[in-house]
Homo-oligomer: A and B are copies of this chain.
């Protein structure tokens, strides 16, 4: 791994970190930090490298998400987090869109300032228990009533694991609405190029001087590489050995976990 990274890690000026599966594992009591990750974040900050947390989390506001992570000991603040809901708000304002929201109750405050009267688009997040038959029909009716339906999806994940089992993720519901309305959703969040570019801009680092570290071979690694970044896959979180034979995406290197990645990167500087 060190040899693989020897050539380029020296030029690095900034790191983008995925959160779930890299910093912590989600679970019944809110989750537990992954061994060595709290210290790894601290070491990145002490090193002078720029740092940005880049997450597809849409079940909580950034405030509550950060509060949970601080409770686990992470040195993280709201201003360091790039997340889909604020990115979507930016797009809505830019295009004069008034959203009909099908999102998690706990995400609603992120859209508090948006005009939601007479909606002209649908914003879909991981709504979890809000994915009811009635709510899906309502979102569908808003879309099909438009001349040109606009569907904005906060991510395109297929499923995720919680302590009580696997759950369908926002991408599955996105596909249902896409098919029913014969429309293609605009995805905000990883692996969208624009989303990574915002994170880089907020960090003030060009893609060739940044490394993405994530557990998702497609959304973290593939997405970041398409933006011109290097990307490492950690063997924690949703990583599976079969990822190492992925037909399309090959990380610049594998690391066992965030602590190992940071260790190697900092030695190169």
Chain A residues near B (Cβ < 8 Å): 128-129, 131-133, 136-137, 140-141, 144, 158-159, 165-169, 171-173, 175-180, 182
Closest Cβ of chain B to A247, distance in Å, is: 12
A22 CA / B166 CA spacing, docked (Å): 42
CB-contact partner of A129 in B133, B140, B179, B182, under 8 A: B133
Chain B residues in 8 Å Cβ range of A168? 133, 136-137, 140, 176, 180
10 cross-chain pairs, A with B, having the tightest CB-CB distances, nearest first: A172-B176, A175-B179, A176-B176, A172-B180, A131-B133, A175-B175, A158-B180, A159-B180, A140-B168, A168-B180
Q: Which residues of B contact A169 (CB under 8 A)?
A: 180
Q: How many copies does the complex hold?
A: 2
Q: Is A141 in contact with B158, judged by CB distance below 8 angstroms?
A: no
15 contacts between A and B (CB under 8 A): A129-B133, A132-B132, A133-B168, A136-B168, A137-B165, A140-B159, A140-B166, A141-B166, A158-B179, A168-B176, A171-B179, A172-B177, A172-B179, A175-B176, A176-B176
In the complex, what residue of chain B is closest to A156 when comparing beta carbons? B179
Q: Which residues does chain B contribute within 8 Å of A180, judged by CB atoms?
A: 158-159, 168-169, 171-172
CB distance from A181 to the nearest CB of B (A): 8
Beyond the given pairs A140-B159, A169-B180, A175-B179, 8 more chain A to chain B contacts, judged by CB atoms under 8 angstroms and listed by A's residue number, are A136-B168, A137-B165, A140-B168, A144-B159, A144-B166, A158-B182, A171-B180, A172-B180
A136 touches B131 (CB 8 A): yes
How many Å lie between the Cα of A132 and that of B173 in the bound state? Answer: 12
Q: How far is the CB of A78 from chain B (nearest CB, A)?
A: 29
Give the nearest-CB partner of A166 in chain B. B141
Complex alpha-carbon distance, A158 and B180, angstroms = 5
In Å, the complex CA distance between A137 and B137 comes to 18
B residues near A176, Cβ cutoff 8 Å: 168, 172-173, 175-176
Q: Among the listed B128, B137, B167, B179, which residue makes an inter-chain contact with A167, where contact means beta carbons less than 8 Å apart?
A: B137
Expressed in whole angstroms, the minimum distance between the Cβ of A160 and any Cβ of chain B is 11
Cα separation A133 to B133 with both chains bound (whole Å): 8
Query: In the complex, which residues of chain B have a beta carbon less than 8 angstroms from the beta carbon of A132?
Result: 132-133
What separation, in Å, do the CA atoms of A182 and B247 have in the docked complex?
15
Bound complex: CA A132 to CA B167 (Å): 13
**A175: B residues at CB distance < 8 A:** 175-176, 178-179
**Cβ-closest chain B residue relative to A135:** B133
Q: A158-B179, A168-B176, A176-B176 are in contact. Are A133 and B137 (CB under 8 A)?
A: no
